[in-house]
């Protein structure tokens, strides 16, 4: 074993939290090393956020060519063939490009990179096992950014052959004829939608009484339910998967659906019932780092763990398990280590689900507003069907919904289901974070013709006087 290398900061994990933290530390003049056991960029860039968006983009392109092009007068002669190996190669090239970009950014900022698996050796040292053997790293500060992994349920062992995780579903060698998705959360619905558009028959088993229950606005979910039905995706609610077995070339799932036992047959099963923090790794006891009752590393508002010199960020440090939250925490931790008096203090974290249409939200739902003590609310919607840009795109499903305090008109939550919701939500994120009012949005001139105009009109609708829809009378 080589002797300990001394650093100001050692970051373990190179996902959106880890690599951002390492770069910021280096920019602040701190001698920094990052340890990654697989590929730079972590789960997000290599087997999560980026590859899923690449496949969703390709599937949407195919779907529009098949269903919308002729209405626009673009006649495509013959069948459109999906060359899956070529599509997979393109998807991999997108991931590789992003991963190499992270690698170059780290090197450009003079961050030392070690590829290997890290375990705590002591409270200020990690031991890294790599192809070169073992080496010790001693650091004044250590940042844990080791993320999460898919949850398995009893009887369903992920083998990436018959039972797939999201990783396997984004790396298929050939398309199955039928897929059973267990879990109607955002990961399951995103992957189910992309596979459906590529021609796979999809059936979803959701244990709860509704899809995306407690995750997004109920009105937004209704739009997704209608679109999934239109696409041919069969959704079972109150459905509990009990067992899976191989039957020849097929896979058999036994489920209890609304109290009745049913047997479903498919080629593949996709298990997407959530993710759990990798808090059972790295020998945290040696570092005197505490784990909470939910399996996350316990942290304070500066992301410090029970060990004052060790920080935790991203999925391993708690909900929401979102890449952009991890990046925000990464910058915060770097500045705290450098001496800044910063704390994690946000009004909300924007969330996006890349279904068809997309869902995006910022702030509270109506139910959450009432739980927070807001007795009276102003709630308004503006439909994309009344937006010229959406009509020209042939993407008119959905709306923008704004919730505001009845007394002050301060915006409490914005929920979007519709085209480019993932891009439109950033304006809402700024509005909620800065404590903007309905008038702030309504009186801001938005360019025409754009989807962004719908945000202005939604604010007007919440006030009762949108121009491009019939409102209740102004009072």
Give the domain ranges of the chain.
2-150+276-338, 163-273, 357-463
What is the rounded CA–CA span in Å between residue 187 and residue 265?
22
Establish whether 448 is a catalytic residue.
yes
The reply to whether omega before 449 is within 30° of 0 (cis) is yes
Q: To which residue do tokens 């997004």 refer?
A: 216
Q: H or E stretch including 276?
A: strand 275-277
Instruction: Enumerate residues 6+ apart whose C-beta is below 8 A from 474.
Output: 464, 465
- Nearest in space to 175 (alpha carbons), one of 203, 199, 202, 194: 199
pLDDT at 88: 97
pLDDT at 473: 56
60 backbone dihedrals φ, ψ, rounded to 5°: -65, -40
Instruction: Enumerate residues 6+ apart whose C-beta is below 8 A from 293.
Output: none
Asked if the domains at 2-150+276-338 and 163-273 fall in one CATH topology, the answer is: yes
What is the rounded CA–CA span in Å between residue 105 and residue 20?
10
CATH superfamily of 357-463: FAD/NAD-linked reductase, C-terminal dimerisation domain (3.30.390.30)
The residue from 67, 406, 448, 465 that is catalytic is: 448
pLDDT at 3: 54
pLDDT at 214: 81
Q: Which two tokens mark 137?
A: 């790293």
Q: How far apart are the first and last CA of the chain?
A: 77
Instruction: Enumerate residues 6+ apart whose C-beta is below 8 A from 72.
Output: 394
297 backbone dihedrals φ, ψ, rounded to 5°: -70, 130
Q: What is the pLDDT along the chain (475 residues), one digit of tens a residue?
A: 555 679 999 999 999 999 999 999 999 999 999 999 999 999 999 999 999 999 999 999 999 999 999 999 999 998 899 999 999 999 999 999 999 999 999 999 999 999 999 999 999 999 999 988 999 999 999 999 999 999 999 999 999 999 999 999 999 999 999 999 999 999 999 999 999 999 999 999 999 999 998 889 999 999 999 999 999 999 999 999 999 999 888 999 999 999 999 999 999 999 999 999 999 999 999 999 999 999 999 999 999 999 999 999 999 999 999 999 999 999 999 999 999 999 999 999 999 999 999 999 999 999 999 999 998 999 999 999 999 999 999 999 999 999 999 999 999 999 999 999 999 999 999 999 999 999 999 999 999 999 999 999 999 999 999 999 988 654 4
CATH superfamily of 2-150+276-338: FAD/NAD(P)-binding domain (3.50.50.60)
Q: Provide the β-strand partners of residue 431.
A: none
pLDDT at 475: 44
**CA torsion 255→257→262→268, rounded to 10°?**
-50
- Nearest in space to 381 (alpha carbons), one of 451, 445, 470: 470
3-state secondary structure of 92: helix
What is the rounded CA–CA span in Å between residue 241 and residue 14?
34
193 backbone dihedrals φ, ψ, rounded to 5°: -65, -45
Q: May I ask the CATH architecture of the domain 163-273?
A: 3-Layer(bba) Sandwich (3.50)
Rg (C-alpha) for the chain, rounded Å, is 24
pLDDT at 5: 79
pLDDT at 2: 55
pLDDT at 322: 97
């Amino acid at each position: 074993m080589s002797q300990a290398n001394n650093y100001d900061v050692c970051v373990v994990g190179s996902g959106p939290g880890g690599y951002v933290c390492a770069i910021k530390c280096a920019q602040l003049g701190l001698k920094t090393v990052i340890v990654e056991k697989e590929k730079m960029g972590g789960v997000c860039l290599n087997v999560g956020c980026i590859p899923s968006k690449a496949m969703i983009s390709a599937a949407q392109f195919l779907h529009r060519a098949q269903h919308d092009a002729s209405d626009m007068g673009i006649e495509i002669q013959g069948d459109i063939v999906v060359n899956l190996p070529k599509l997979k190669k393109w998807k991999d090239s997108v991931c590789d490009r992003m991963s190499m970009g992270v690698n170059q950014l780290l090197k450009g900022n003079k961050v030392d990179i070690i590829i290997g698996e890290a375990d705590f050796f002591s409270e200020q040292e990690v031991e890294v096992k790599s192809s070169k053997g073992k080496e010790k790293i001693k650091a004044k500060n250590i940042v844990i950014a080791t993320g999460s992994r898919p949850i398995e349920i009893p009887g369903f062992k992920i083998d990436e052959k018959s039972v797939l995780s999201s990783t396997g579903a984004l790396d298929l060698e050939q398309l199955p004829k039928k897929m059973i998705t267990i879990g109607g959360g955002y990961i399951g619905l995103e992957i189910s939608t992309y596979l459906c558009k590529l021609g796979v028959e999809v059936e979803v088993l959701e244990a709860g009484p509704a899809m995306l229950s407690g995750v997004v606005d109920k009105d937004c979910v209704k739009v997704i339910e209608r679109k999934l039905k239109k696409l041919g995706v069969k959704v079972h609610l109150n459905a509990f998967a009990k067992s899976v077995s191989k039957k020849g070339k097929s896979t058999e799932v036994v489920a209890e659906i609304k109290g009745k036992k049913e047997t479903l047959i498919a080629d593949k099963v996709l298990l997407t019932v959530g993710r759990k923090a990798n808090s059972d790794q790295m020998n945290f006891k040696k570092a005197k780092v505490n784990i909470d009752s939910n399996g996350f590393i316990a942290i304070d508002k500066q992301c410090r763990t029970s060990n004052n010199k060790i920080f935790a960020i991203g999925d391993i440090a708690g909900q929401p398990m979102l890449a952009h939250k991890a990046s925000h925490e990464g910058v915060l931790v770097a500045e705290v280590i450098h001496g800044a008096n910063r704390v994690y203090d946000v009004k909300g974290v924007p969330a996006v689900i890349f279904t068809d249409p997309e869902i995006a939200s910022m702030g509270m739902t109506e139910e959450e507003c009432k739980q927070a003590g807001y007795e009276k609310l102003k709630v308004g919607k503006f439909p994309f069907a009344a937006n010229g840009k959406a009509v020209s795109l042939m993407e008119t499903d959905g709306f923008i919904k704004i919730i505001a305090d009845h007394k002050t008109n301060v915006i409490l939550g914005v929920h979007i289901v519709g085209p480019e919701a993932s891009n439109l939500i950033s304006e809402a994120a700024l509005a909620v974070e800065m404590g903007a009012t309905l008038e702030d949005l309504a009186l801001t001139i938005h360019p025409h013709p754009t989807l962004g105009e719908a945000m202005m009109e939604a604010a007007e609708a919440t006030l009762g006087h949108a121009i491009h829809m019939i409102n209740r009378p102004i009072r």
